[in-house]
Chain A
């Protein structure tokens, strides 16, 4: 373990440990307190429809931000700059406004517990089951993964705690209060967790900014930081730094310093180096713009490193330049991961809206709102709070460029900054903030997975076999049973799933295939009454097929990981397919879609009255 981090962990005594223990006990008591209000499935899954807007908004934010976001977003800001903040700005606020005024009112008025249930009513059981099965499996996998990644990569790395103990501690606390109080307990604990997360995050922000001399100092220092090349060479023997420095010099670069990167573990590659360059604008790159200069410089570095050691072309490197670290929008052709076209169209218009309107873990809170105004207001308040997340998460990553510029791994920026800057007491609070971020994501995912499995999969199967709908008491029993089964299963599977990188990538990819098509059929289902079951099914199935094709064809889009572009085009494709197939097949009967479509609800007084009775 790194000496700084070890020191930080060994300093966790007295006040820090007291804060952590008090937090755990407090959350446990608060969560279980709400158990006394749970008497039916409606109480358990949608909090008796009694949630106020402020609790909804706070819960949405804290459910969305996990402990690993603190690490990964700061890491991305450290290596690629402020453009990563797009995910919480253009990738959240407009989407939450659309969710508030287009989707949420219709979900809330229809009285459903889940998004797949709404899709089932609007289209048919096929669409409901495909959507529910996908999300059901995804949420369960994410539950195990969250537990393990945080237990192992965060708490084990920072505190040196046994990851198995961390996993089972989280299983026990979150499992008991979710089982006991359902959505009410989850949301109210989330409120406390958000406050703690903000206190911890703002402390880190303020101390980081103090150290770098405020916003102006930060910008000046980053833009004047020398470019770095993080180099990883392959050879059985130790390669001397002088060899690497000479190769870079021969390629035309003026190397101002070169050090071996610190080894985090005993079996880490010793041939990792951090080189500082005077500039990447050398004679061979003259006359080009910055994107072309970076591309040419990368080619020159690749050529220089290919001749060292046994690795040949497998020798890897990462070029870090800081000229665009304060640019929120990057050109369409950029070697960084967030081109503006993908950010605005793929993220802002498709992925963000699909996430905020189609993700059960987010939308379930609004379904528990005490009024339609609270459901809408909760979304808007959540968007407002979410605007502050990049300040607490990305800005410390930028400050790390100034304070620890030779860090080889961006993901270590936050752990290093905690060790470096926070005094006792605040350090304990920051660890509590990380626990809060983890637990809020775990409880929300558990609650949503349980709701989908109970309502859309078990409930549908039971109805198919017995012909009867599930009553409230039975729904509560099954919901609680699934809560226990899922959290224990997640605890047992966590170490295995955490080590299956391929499985995680597969699940993430599979989910991303659904985002564009799901948004298309959700949107048309609400705004266009002519959309029918055949259009919805074709839009979903063919849309997923089209997305798969786009993912398989190489070089169509200007990015190594073109998910932002694929999301946009799969949305457009599914929109067209749903419209065409719906027009070619008979419309849905008026009584089936009553209350589920925009124009009808807005204009029909009779529907308003029926819905009012249903909701009350």
Chain B
């Protein structure tokens, strides 16, 4: 089974994934760091700007800032941004 798939589908899949592999091999490592940071920052921005405050905090015990889950998200993710920035 494995041999058959390798001989029939292998060359076809190689045509698809080979160029992608080549493209990624050439990526400069600081760009990789930027992509990782963008993932964290983008997620924070999505929660803070993209979602309605009412949806995020539905059924919150109070309107105080310490019950606002948008701030929880930022506080939880900021240390990650620092770690990925410096390591």
Contact = CB atoms under 8 A, between A and B. Distances in A.
Interface in B34-87: 35-36, 39-40, 43, 47, 51-52, 55-61, 67, 69, 72-73, 75-77, 79-80, 83-84, 87
Given A94-B39, A329-B29, A333-B25, A552 B1 contact: yes
B10 A553 contact: yes
Given A98-B43, A332-B24, A371-B59, A557 B87 contact: no
B80 A90 contact: yes
Given A327-B87, A328-B83, A90 B39 contact: yes
A380 B76 contact: yes
Given A326-B87, A549-B9, A553-B6, A373 B58 contact: yes
Contacts of A373: 57-61, 67, 69
B83 A89 contact: yes
Contacts of A376: 56, 69
A100 B39 contact: no
A558 B21 contact: yes
Contact of A552 (B2, B25, B36, B83): B2
A556 B61 contact: no
Interface stretch (A229-237, A356-364, A381-389, A433-441): A381-389
A377 interface: yes
A90 B76 contact: no
Contacts, number: 117
Contact of B80 (A93, A343, A554): A93
Given A329-B32, A372-B58, A556 B13 contact: yes
Contact of A556 (B17, B29, B58): B17
Is the interface on chain A under 10, 10 to 19, 20 to 34, or 35 or more residues?
35 or more
B65 to A, nearest CB: 14
A393 B17 CA distance: 36
B8 to A, nearest CB: 10
A383 B77 CA distance: 9
Contacts of B72: 377, 380-381, 384
Contact of A331 (B6, B29, B56, B59): B29
Interface residues of B, number: 43
Contacts of B36: 90, 329, 340, 343-344, 348
Interface residues of chain B: helix, strand, loop or mixed (majority): helix
Contacts of A387: 76, 79-80
A113 B74 CA distance: 30
A332 B33 CA distance: 12
A555 B10 CA distance: 9
A602 interface: yes
Contacts of A105: 58
A344 B39 contact: yes
Given A101-B47, A344-B32, A552-B2, A383 B76 contact: yes
A507 B57 CA distance: 39
A326 B83 CA distance: 11
Contacts of A98: 43
A345 to B, nearest CB: 9
B76 A332 contact: no
B55 A602 contact: yes
A97 B77 contact: yes
A538 interface: no
Contact of B59 (A93, A327, A372, A549): A372
Given A101-B56, A328-B87, A373-B57, A553 B5 contact: yes
Nearest to A383: B76
Nearest to A109: B58
A90 B33 CA distance: 12
A105 B57 CA distance: 11
Contacts of A328: 83-84, 87
Given A333-B25, A602-B55, A89 B5 contact: no
A167 interface: no
Given A553-B6, A555-B14, 5 more contacts: A331-B29, A331-B32, A340-B35, A341-B32, A373-B69
Interface of A: 82, 89-90, 93-94, 97-98, 100-101, 105, 326-329, 331-333, 340-341, 343-344, 348-349, 371-374, 376-377, 380-381, 383-384, 387, 549-550, 552-558, 569, 602
10 contacts: A82-B87, A90-B36, A90-B40, A97-B73, A97-B77, A332-B24, A372-B58, A384-B72, A553-B6, A553-B9
